DNA sequence: CTTGTTATTTGCGCTAGCGCAAAGACAAAT
DNA sequence: ATTTGTCTTTGCGCTAGCGCAAATAACAAG
């Protein structure tokens, strides 16, 4: 995959960058391909590179000491991930980045971007936007996990996915996620996700397939997520 | 409470600021006192000000539609809170800030700091540090809530508090928090906190009082938090 | 000392959700 | 067509943790 400086404008953090800056960024980066199931980096690795996903889909996973993991976020093309190293020195990735399909990404040296940030306020500003978004999303998910019933959280996760990555088709929005994926995103188990969503299918709100979820009545899911109905 | 520019250096985000900048910040801010139980701001209010706490203790709470709330963070003197407005335009506070005791704080106009950030890379950088710390803490807490047993989470919360605000005394570290506080910080109920901690007291690991927790054997709590013992 | 207030403990019953295990469905490969 | 592997569903039993209610303890004010 070949990337031109202009293409990089699709990256939120680079949206206001000058043509010259973009070229410089490209010069200090290299492409990296990772096959499905492999990792861009593992939790605990030194955060020497940050990535811009060009193609595919990446999961950011955090693992505890006993190996149980949660999905912190899913990355889509032109999104940046692993950017912490550009802010802090000598830091390790707090999560692992797994390729959900065959992926291509642009690897940018953390130190290079860190240097650039020092003299490009617009870059700092845009990166900060990203961080604040992220903080807020995590706060909401934390609150949901602490106070919401599991069906509310699943509905919330599906609605977030719909907004982030839904493919609109003739009949409803189509999501490509396994039950396990949804479970990791809503802090539950694949069994519970299956049970809850099967009930929703019975009611005609969603249509289910293998690694496939069609949202037919998003409005009903909103009511579930809000807790106004059960 | 009177604040000099130099005092502001205690604020992490201002640690590298020039004397002139600090003076300017002070000129564009005003003191605000809030009594115990009252709010600096409510979730949903337009985020026009950010605050530096001078005295007291502030809880950041997020509330869901049914009024259940979680404690996102506790603020201590010289920490900044409500800083989102300095990054994004037209944003509302995503949480409420409640004074746990009589509090004094410095209110700084968001727009003013936002302007300042544009031309002060060191400020951006330090603010970004704060954000990344926050992101990481929320990620960890989220993972804990999703995968850890309740006793592990309570132990984790106590250990975090020990690091952040523990008063060292002759016999162990002393924390001033109610069971309800601990419950909100570990995503459970005051009943469960009471039961779990009472058991720990029986084992001689902690000593309990009214709004008071003395950590006697932190090492044992670490083992609980890690899940290596039950 | 008395009284009122607030924090804490504890008994008790209950249920939401977990997680094993086995069966079924689907897709890709041979 | 058959095999193989993965994903999904579902029955079943279980228990961790919730949350009411009532008792108790600690503190504050008069």
Nearest CA in chain A to B153: A146
Kindly report, residue by residue over A20-53, the tens digit of the pLDDT: 999 999 999 999 999 888 899 999 999 999 999 9
Nucleotide nearest to A199 (CA to C1'): D9
Q: What does the block give as tokens for B126?
A: 């330090």
Residue B67 has pLDDT above 90, yes or no: no
Gap from B227 CA to chain A (nearest CA, Å):
8
CATH 1.10.10.10 fits B150-226, yes or no: yes
Q: Which of A136, A146, A227 sits opposite B70 (nearest CB)?
A: A146
pTM of the model: 0.91
CB contact under 8 A, A94 and B70: no
Q: What is the CATH number of domain B5-145?
A: 2.60.120.10
Proximity of residue A191 CB to strand D below 7 A: yes
Q: What are the φ and ψ backbone dihedral angles of A135, each rounded to 5 degrees? A: -55, -50
B141 touches chain A (CB under 8 A): yes
Q: What is the pLDDT of residue B163?
A: 87
Nearest CB among A140, A142, A226 relative to B141 is that of: A142
| Residue contact A68–B135, C-beta within 8 A | no
Q: Do A139 and B65 touch (CB under 8 A)?
A: no
Chain B residue nearest residue A127, CA to CA: B128
* Cβ–Cβ contact A64 with B under 8 A: yes
CA dist list (Å): B184 to A29, A91, B90: 44, 29, 29
Residues of chain A falling short of pLDDT 70:
1, 166
By the 8 A CB rule, do A187 and A145 touch? yes
- Give per-residue pLDDT as tens, B101-140: 889 999 999 999 999 998 898 899 999 999 999 999 899 9
Mutate to test the interface with B, among A44, A113, A134, A139 (most CBs of B within 10 A): A139
Does pLDDT of B78 surpass 80?
yes
Distance CA B74, CA B161 (A): 9
Q: Measured between alpha carbons, how far is A45 from A62 in angstroms, rounded to an integer?
A: 13
- What ranges do the domains of chain A cover? 5-145, 150-226
CB contact (8 A) between residue A64 and residue B147: yes
Size of interface A-B (CB pairs under 8 A): 126
Q: For residues B142 and A94, is the Cβ–Cβ distance under 8 A?
A: no
CB contact set of A150 (below 8 Å; sequence gap of 6+): A186, A188, A192, A196
């Amino acid at each position: 995959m070949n990337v031109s400086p202009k293409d990089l404008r699709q990256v939120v953090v680079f949206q206001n960058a000058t043509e010259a800056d973009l070229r410089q960024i490209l010069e200090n980066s290299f492409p990296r391909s990772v096959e499905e199931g492999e990792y861009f980096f593992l939790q605990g690795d030194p955060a020497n590179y940050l990535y811009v996903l060009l193609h595919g889909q990446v999961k950011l996973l955090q693992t505890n000491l006993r190996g149980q993991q949660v999905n912190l976020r899913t990355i889509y093309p032109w999104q940046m991930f692993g950017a912490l190293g550009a802010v802090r020195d000598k830091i390790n990735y707090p999560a692992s980045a797994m390729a959900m399909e065959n992926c291509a990404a642009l690897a940018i040296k953390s130190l290079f971007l860190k240097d650039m940030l020092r003299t490009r306020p617009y870059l700092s500003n845009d990166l900060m936007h990203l961080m604040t978004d992220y903080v807020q999303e995590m706060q909401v998910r934390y609150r949901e996990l602490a106070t919401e019933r599991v069906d509310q959280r699943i509905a919330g996760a599906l609605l977030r996915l719909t907004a982030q990555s839904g493919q609109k088709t003739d009949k409803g929005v189509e999501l490509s996620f396994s039950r396990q994926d949804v479970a990791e995103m809503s802090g539950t188990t694949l069994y519970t996700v299956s049970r809850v969503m099967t009930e929703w299918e019975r009611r005609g709100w969603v249509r289910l397939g293998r690694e496939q979820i069609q949202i037919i009545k998003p409005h009903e899911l909103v009511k579930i997520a809000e807790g106004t109905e059960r």
